[in-house]
Amino acid sequence: MINVALDGPSGAGKSTIAKAVAKRFEFIYIDTGAMFRSLALKCIEQGIDIKANPAAVEAMLQNTVLDIGRDDGQQLMFLDGKNVTSLIRTPEVSKAASDIAVIPAVRQWLLETEREFAAKYDCIMDGRDIGTSVLPNADVKVFLTASAEARAKRRLAELVEKGVEVSFDEVLAEMKYRDKQDSEREVSPLRKADDAIEADTTLLTLEESIALVCDIIRKVID
């Protein structure tokens, strides 16, 4: 099995790039961020205060079922049997996902599922701590990054396209909040693995970014 770990901050384009790379190499794409987002969505829907009541979050996990589906090459997220793919990309869910990611029980709950997929398939998995924690022995590790302003601009375009009304300042503030939260958390913080190759896409187009990651992978596995 060939495992590729793609890490980086919020809005770096990990999911979009990972999907394209997976298609070109015929790998399975595993979006770990969507898993955290799905759990965060359930907390919001149930009125659970993630930061104030992590015990309630942990209790919720005992009655939660996450599953992954595919439609025309796209990953779908199912939460307790419901397709929530279109509901988990709002700023509110993004912030809640960062909050829920610091809870050790949540990370442990998801870890086993992520590793089971990686053991079965040639895959590319993206997240914050894939190369450092989830798949420390991955064949290829890429740390994808870009300036906060560039990432916010890209995320705003995605949200506007989906009909979400939000300002650039709101998206940038949420981006900086997540950067701080993800980098400073005690459990599996966002950081570049010692053996990861950094790919800065600030000045690159999407297609150029995809090509860069593909080149990195080829140089390692060929």
- Per DSSP, 103 falls in state -
- Could you tell me the two tokens for 202? 């600030």
Q: At residue 73, does pLDDT exceed 80?
A: no
Percent of the chain with pLDDT over 70: 100
The mean per-residue pLDDT over the stretch 203-217 comes to 96
Closest residue by Cα to residue 32 from 135, 166, 128, 144: 128
| pLDDT single digits (tens) 86-117 | 999 998 999 999 899 989 999 999 998 789 88
Contact 19, 121 (CB under 8 A): no
Q: What CATH code would you report for 3-221?
A: 3.40.50.300
CA atoms of 94 and 101, how far apart (whole Å): 11
The DSSP element (H or E) to which 77 belongs, if any, is: strand 74-79
pLDDT at site 218: 96
Contact 141, 3 (CB under 8 A): no
Phi (first) and psi of residue 28, to 5 degrees: -85, 135
Between 27-31, 35-39, 84-88, 166-170, the lowest mean confidence (pLDDT) is in 27-31
pLDDT at site 69: 78
Q: Across all residues in the chain, what is the average pLDDT?
A: 92
Percent of the chain with pLDDT over 90: 69
Contact 179, 148 (CB under 8 A): yes
Domain boundaries, the chain: 3-221
Q: At residue 68, does pLDDT exceed 90?
A: no
| Buried b or exposed e, range 108-128, using 16+ CB within 10 angstroms | ebbeeebeeebeebbbbbbbb
